[in-house]
């Protein structure tokens, strides 16, 4: 009986994943796909971030095609967070002339799945954030918890619609509502 339920759950997740990919393509977002990497690759990816820490908990990016690398971590019980350039849930600032932001997300948290989403709607976020009702502009699906020295990563491209304030968050139930989110400013 447990095996049948397990298989039903896997099928439902596969269908939901396919629907999510279709939705991403319909929204015009490029999506590279989930990959698994070891620690040396994680370190290499982290070095590809083109931002600079410019203020208290702020990372600033310049140029038309910056690369942002977001790590999903669990710094202490009970709440997970994002980390960019060793800043926790920082404000990410981009020039108004930005054409495309490449965002690489890495789940280094060994205790939970995480996802990543950009939206115009700010906090507070519900315990069960819905990408459709939040009008998601970019989405990285659930990345499995790290294990055995292996980490899941995914990359998504985001074209900001113009200057303004946007938000990034983890849509995994309960994460954004407990603080796993940050602000994006396009000047």
Distances (CA, A) of 180 to 15, 72, 90, 130: 27, 9, 11, 15
CA distance 185 to 57: 13
What CA–CA distance (Å, rounded) separates 10 from 127?
23
Q: Is 170 among the annotated ligand-binding positions?
A: yes
Residue 78: asked if its preceding bond is cis (omega within 30°), the reply is yes
In 10 A of CB 113, how many CB atoms?
Answer: 17
47 phi, psi to nearest 5 deg: -75, -15
- Residue from 69, 58, 178 nearest 123 by CA: 178
180 is in an annotated binding site: yes
Distances, alpha carbon 37 to alpha carbons 4, 129, 146, 147, in Å: 31, 28, 10, 11
DSSP state of 171: -
Annotated binding residues for Cu cation, written as ranges, equal 114, 170, 175, 180
Annotated binding residues, written as ranges, equal 114, 170, 175, 180
């Amino acid at each position: 009986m447990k095996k049948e339920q397990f298989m039903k759950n896997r099928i439902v997740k596969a269908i939901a994943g396919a629907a999510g990919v279709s939705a991403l393509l319909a929204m015009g977002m490029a999506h590279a796909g989930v990959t698994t990497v070891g620690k040396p690759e994680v370190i290499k990816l982290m070095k590809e971030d083109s931002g600079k820490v410019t203020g208290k908990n702020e990372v600033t990016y310049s140029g038309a095609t910056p690369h942002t690398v977001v790590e999903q971590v669990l710094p202490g019980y009970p709440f997970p967070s994002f980390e960019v350039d060793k800043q926790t849930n920082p404000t990410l600032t981009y020039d108004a002339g930005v054409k495309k932001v490449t965002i690489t997300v890495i789940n280094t948290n060994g205790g939970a799945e995480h996802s990543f989403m950009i939206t115009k709607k700010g906090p507070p976020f519900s315990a069960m954030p819905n990408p459709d009702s939040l009008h998601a502009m970019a989405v990285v699906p659930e990345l499995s918890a790290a294990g055995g020295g292996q980490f899941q990563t995914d990359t998504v491209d985001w074209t900001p619609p113009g200057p303004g304030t946007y938000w990034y968050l983890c849509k995994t139930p309960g994460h954004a509502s407990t603080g796993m989110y940050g602000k994006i400013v396009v000047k």
